[in-house]
Amino acid sequence: MTFKKNRLNTIVSGLLLAQLSLFAGSSYVQAASEKSLIVGRYAPVESLDIANVFDVSVYTADQIFEPLYIVGKEGKPTPWLATSAVSDNDGLVWTFKLRPGVKFSDGKALRAEDVVFTLERHLKNAGGIPLLAPITSITAPDQNTVVIKLKEAYPALLSDISAVSNGIMPANFAGQTEENFFRNPVGTGPFELESWEPGGTVTLKKNPHYWQSEKPYYDELAFTVLPDENQRVQQLLAGQIDVIDNLPPVRFAELSKNPDISVSRSESWIIQILQFNTKDPHFSDVHVRRAVNLAIDRKALASATSFNTSDAATSLVPPTVDFFDAKISEHDIDAAKQELSRSAFPDGFSTTILLPGGDQVRSQQAQIIQNQLAKIGIKVAIISLDPAVVREKTHAGDYALRLQESISDVSDPNIFLTYHVSPEDGGSDSYWTFYNNPHLTSILRQARVEQDEKLRGALYREAQDIIATDVPIIPLVYQSRLVATRSNLTGVEAIPNGATRFYSAREK
Amino acid sequence: MTGTTNVIFRRLFESASRAILTIFGVIIATFFILHIVPGDPVLMILGEHASSQAVAALRETLGLDRSLWTQFIAFLSGIIQHADAGHSLVYRIPSSELVLSRLPVTGTLVLLSTLLTVAIVCVFAIIAAVNEEKTADHLIRTLSTLGASMPVFWVAIILILVFSINLRWFPVGGMGRHGFINSLILPAITAAIVTAPMLIRSLRTQLLEVLNADFVNMLRISGLSTPRIMVRHVLPNAAIPALILLGINISGMIGGSIILERVFALPGIGSLLFDAIAKRDFPLIQTIALFSAAGVVVVSFITDITVRLLDPRARMEK
């Protein structure tokens, strides 16, 4: 060919070079604004209606709305928008004194009628974390006092009031419609809403009227959505985000060695559990459930799947929740075999374990359980499905074993235990295990109203005994809260109920 | 000329009716497939402990208690009367509003990757063609085989490791403290790396065929400059098969954005779709399906027209 290739080559190479230098020219420069704090979360906020949401949504809305009492760093109900709460001798009338000088982010003062409005709405709504206290009336005798009257004594009242769902909002949504209000919410919290891309980043800005003077130290707090765990950690390393408040355990050791990152491990009320469908032909037999309980080596499971960041569970009640009582059943294959021989299936059987797909921790747990149950003749097939399908199957009772995680929202065990083992009072058929022990239900009902702390403790110990004997649910792991921040950041508070507070966060 | 115009109009009409049929098919298929697939949006909204009363109440509020047929009729009339596939079940705002708010990210990403792909393809295919069977040609052919065999997410991770973590040229992902285009460059390069190889090979083969054609020799003899021959005569003649392939690949990118946006944590339509499917947000999924079907139809329409403009044979075809 006589084609003038050389000339063409020059042109093409020139183009190629220009292309390359264009990319090099647009090099990424880190331009972190010093006054804004970015938190990477795995899911988007669905709604800011604090009384009706869970998970990421509620832990964002709680930056805007605050309750009368709050779950403190150590987990105890701590005076917040109220400075004190006193009950009469029968425990039927509770008087809350509001903190003077508290203002909403629109500058209006917090009044008792706002509290009445909020709590009454939550009682009616019963979404999110329902207010289960037997409240007969909520009144405001004066601007700074709220009186809650109860049908029967309810010692867990302060603890329940401290649940995130009870964040206070202005009476009648400050004159807006409910729908508009939650798109443009007004609360007493350290931050107020600046912008919200549905399904994406929620940006909050400092509430200029916040009652704790000078706080928060950041002008802006953004929650960005990074579903991919790897992406979340890489963005933290690159300084694109400042905080990961639910660090995957597999990353803990690696990040704790990195000088740019600080990691912390603290108590949480999250517990990983194995649920039995007690309507299943095999697991309706208590001996089978006990055998499974004895066959699982929880210590090994906990340390392997949490990379030594969490401990094996010893009761359904997390250890920092009131009246926790360790019920240790040691891993014992022989005892498990004996227990199984007392059941209707002495030679074992085949069953399934249900878990959400894409969940690495639970998938490892399932494999360990599969392996350990094989030793006593129970063959387990792992079924990993889309989370939406897992939930539908569970609610329909269409499963045998399920791996799940559960969280106590408050420091009192009443709501938590009621949910898990009291079919009618909890509203979810003993958390979809369909377990029903009338004796246990009656103990929980007594404990709920018992005012004497010692007697109440004895009742909850008995309840934990019964749960450990009947094994409707096996507590597997007490999951620690792992938080990673850029190392120049201090004051991020990780609360055992899953909340993270940023009002004290500041640069070192 | 009138004959040609007529043909083009008839072609347009044919394409339009095919487009409407395609979109209609997508609407019906997504609606019924979604309702057959297990998983309940109400349970996803209300959470783990939702009581059956609360579930029933919300199902009624959202109109999910009606028969499948009634829901389908309501859905169809919504689309026909208001061009609206309904409110998102999770966010309770019009689904189209949500999708439109994500359109700039995905739209720019697709556009950027297309431009990049075209540039890469033209450059490499021409180098390979003019250096037939020489080192450059072999190198490009080997590299393109390599590129074609790498999965999108893997390329993405490698690029993030090299350019974001080690070199710090680009953000790791997301749309936070950095510019809009800056966040899209690496994802666009990823898409281009995966899309370009096939097109390079196709264009190279065609270029060789055309370069050896008699008319090129004639043009050269008549004294036209080499770049002019290349740009005016060789490329347009050789580009048609690659162009058709490009159209198919752009359509693929619209659907493939779900992986790319997830790996790069981009708030585009793909990540919105991912969330919507996880929560079984039916109207939102349907709206996204509708938008991408429309996107695919538009792209294939443009491809069709371009091919016809470039190729006199296709233009004149009766």
Q: Residue A2 is which amino acid?
A: T
Chain B interface includes A433 (CB < 8 A): no
pLDDT over threshold 50, residue A221:
yes
Is pLDDT at A239 greater than 90 in this prediction? no
Give the type of residue at B82: H
Inter-CA distances, B1 with A318, B8, B315, Å: 83, 11, 11
**Residue B19: pLDDT band with limits 50, 70, 90:** confident
The helix-helix angle for A413-421 and A438-449 (nearest 10°) equals 160
In A, which residues are within 8 Å of B140 by CB distance?
none
Is the CB of residue B90 less than 8 Å away from at least one CB of chain A? Answer: yes
Q: How far apart are CA A439 and CA A302, in angstroms?
A: 31
For chain A, what's the residue count? 508
Closest listed residue to residue A80, CA positions, set A142, A167, A165: A167
Q: Do B172 and A23 touch (CB under 8 A)?
A: no
**Which tokens in the block code for residue A326?**
């360790």
| Residue A54 confidence (pLDDT) | 87
Contacts of B123 in chain A (CB under 8 A): 12, 15-16, 19
Quote ipTM for the complex.
0.81
B165 → closest Cβ in A234, A388, A404: A234
Amino acid identity for residue B191 in this structure: A
Of A244-248, A283-287, B214-218, the least confident: B214-218
Q: What letter does residue B176 receive in the DSSP assignment?
A: S
* Structure tokens, B230: 């290349």
In the sheet with A145-150, reading across from the earlier edge strand, the strands are A82-87, A93-98, A145-150, A135-142
Whole-angstrom distance, CA of residue A313 vs CA of residue A496 = 16
d(C-alpha A492, C-alpha A416), whole Å: 26
* Residue (of B102, B138, B143) closest to B120 by Cα position: B143
Q: How confident is the model at residue A40 (pLDDT cuts 50, 70, 90)?
A: very high
Give the pTM: 0.86
**Which residues is A30 bridged to in the sheet?**
none
Q: d(Cα A74, Cα A88) in Å, to the nearest integer?
A: 27
Nearest chain B residue to A420 by CA: give it: B49
Q: How far apart are the first and last CA of chain A?
A: 70
Closest Cα of chain A to B81: distance in Å?
Answer: 25
Q: Under a CB-based contact definition with an 8 Å cutoff, are residues A357 and A386 in contact?
A: yes
Distance CA B279, CA B272 (A): 11
Entry field: residues in chain B: 318
Task: Please report, rounded to a whole number, the percentage of residues in chain A having pLDDT higher than 70.
Answer: 93
What's the mean pLDDT when you consider all of chain A? Answer: 90
The predicted-structure confidence for B103-150, as pLDDT tens digits, reads as follows 999 999 999 999 999 999 999 998 998 888 899 999 999 999 898 888
- Residue A272: its pLDDT value, please? 96
* Nearest Cα to Cα of residue A377 among A476, A495, A288, A264: A288
Of the segments A447-451, B178-182, B231-235, which one has the largest average pLDDT value? A447-451
Q: Which of B116, B107, B252 is nearest to B189 (CA)?
A: B116
Q: What residue type is A11 in one-letter code? A: I
Which residue's entry shows tokens 């799940």?
Answer: A404
How many CB atoms are closer than 10 A to CB B75? Answer: 18
What's the CA gap between A220 and A204, in Å, rounded? 6
Among candidate residues B112, B54, B63, B65, the one with its CA nearest the CA of residue B92: B63
Tokens representing B34?
């979604």
For A18-32, what is each residue's pLDDT tens digit?
444 444 333 333 334
* B269 close to B107: Cβ distance less than 8 angstroms: no
Element housing A97 (H / E): strand A93-98
Q: What is the pLDDT of residue A11?
A: 46
pLDDT at A22: 41
Please name the residue ranges forming H helices in A250-309: 252-256, 286-295, 298-305
Q: Which residue of A has its CA nearest to B94?
A: A198
Cβ pair B151, A225 in contact under 8 A:
no
How far apart CA B93 and CA A183 sit, in angstroms, is 11
For A342-388, how does the pLDDT look when each residue is reduced to its tens digit (9 = 90+)? 999 999 999 999 999 888 899 999 999 999 999 999 999 999 999 99
Q: Does B160 touch chain A (CB under 8 A)?
A: yes
Residues of B in contact with A395 (CB under 8 A): 40, 43, 50, 55
Smallest Cα distance from A46 to chain B, Å = 6
Q: Does A16 touch chain B (CB under 8 A)?
A: yes
Residue A222 structure tokens: 């953004």
Residue A7: pLDDT over 80: no
The string over A219-241, giving b where at least 16 C-beta atoms fall within 10 Å of a residue's C-beta and e elsewhere, is ebbbbbbbbbbbbbbbbbbbbbb
Asked if the Cβ–Cβ distance from A240 to B279 is below 8 Å, we say no
